[in-house]
Amino acid sequence: MWPYPKIVAHRGGGTLAPENTLAGLRAGLAYGFHAVEFDVMLSRDGIGMVVHDPEFGRTVDGQGSVAQTDAIDLSNMDAGSWFGPAFRDEPVPFYTQFIDYCKAQRIWMNVEIKPADGVEAATGAWVARITRDNYAAELASGDPASYPLLSSFSYAALAAARDTAPELPRGYLLDTIPADWQEQARQLAVVAIHTNHKHLNAELAAQIKAAGYGLFCYTVNTPERAREILAWGVDGFCTDRIDLIGPAFA
């Protein structure tokens, strides 16, 4: 059974606000979303920051990289102007700011561990430790919908998260499903497979569900496709089009 929300706002507020910002979380809430996916990467000084690209230039104004910049400096960079002048100086958030906001607003989090090259295990361990420490009461409650689901494309990051905080559930992100997916999923002790809906079909979906895993898709942006994959047994998905696909979509 899938104990988590079915429809999740991708990167904060999808296409309605600059991705991976607090403005994105506010946009999601404005559309009724209490479920969000976002990306966490470590700064030079080893602090988890909410950002997708390892290099600046697309969403964060400037040159350089997240892994070569201290957290305090990242938190003063402009991650909003690319989206529109109204978002100028919207900063790169600390992961802990996202935790605080989501707890206060009762937003469920799918935290994607997005390590820069070479720091996969460190990133997975950091995210797992901080998440566990911030959700101790929720973890003790035994209600999985009250604490986050971690996910990553990185096997090493998920292995480190598993070793650091085995009690936090994990999803394995796979762009395409490899032949040995079940062996990897077993080793990582994940609860779910998160996959690109473009490479999924009804047969694969049925295999994953029959093996007892949750099945989550990214990033589904039309209601027609959403209906199709849900009919295959997909448990949930994230969307950029929070304006077209609402939190109660069925």
> One symbol per residue from 185 to 214: x for binding ligand G3P (CB under 6 A), - otherwise; what is it?
---------x--------------------
Active-site residue numbers?
10, 52
Question: Which one of residues 78, 90, 112, 235 is an interface residue with ligand G3P (CB under 6 A)?
Answer: 112
Strands 48-50 and 108-113: unpaired
User: How near is the Cβ of 151 to ligand G3P at its closest, in Å?
Assistant: 6
- Does 4 interact with ligand G3P (rule: CB under 6 A)? no
User: How near is the Cβ of 227 to ligand G3P at its closest, in Å?
Assistant: 20
Question: Which one of residues 25, 37, 95, 237 is an interface residue with ligand G3P (CB under 6 A)?
Answer: 37
- With a CB cutoff of 8 Å and minimum separation 6, the contacts of 99 are 109, 130, 131, 134
Rank residues 89 and 177 by Cβ distance to ligand G3P and give the closer one.
177
Q: 50 to 89, contacts with ligand G3P by CB under 6 A?
A: 52
Rank residues 112 and 240 by Cβ distance to Mg ion and give the closer one.
112
Sequential DSSP letters for the chain? ---S-SEEEETTTGGGS-TTSHHHHHHHHHTT--EEEEEEEE-TTS-EEE-S-SBSSSSS-SSSBGGGS-HHHHTTS-SSTTT-GGGTTPPPPBHHHHHHHHHHHT-EEEEEE-PPTT-HHHHHHHHHHHHHHHTHHHHHHT-GGGS-EEEES-HHHHHHHHHH-TTS-EEEEESS--TTHHHHHHHHT-SEEEEEGGG--HHHHHHHHHTT-EEEEE----HHHHHHHHHTT--EEEES-TTTS-TT--
User: How near is the Cβ of 110 to Mg ion at its closest, in Å?
Assistant: 8
Q: 21 to 80, contacts with Mg ion by CB under 5 A?
A: 39
Question: Which one of residues 112, 120, 235, 240 is an interface residue with Mg ion (CB under 5 A)?
Answer: 112
Question: Which one of residues 181, 218, 232, 237 is an interface residue with ligand G3P (CB under 6 A)?
Answer: 218
Question: Which one of residues 131, 134, 151, 164 is an interface residue with ligand G3P (CB under 6 A)?
Answer: 151
Rank residues 90 and 112 by Cβ distance to Mg ion and give the closer one.
112
What residues make contact with ligand G3P under the rule CB under 6 A?
10, 37, 39, 52, 112, 151, 173, 194, 218-219, 238
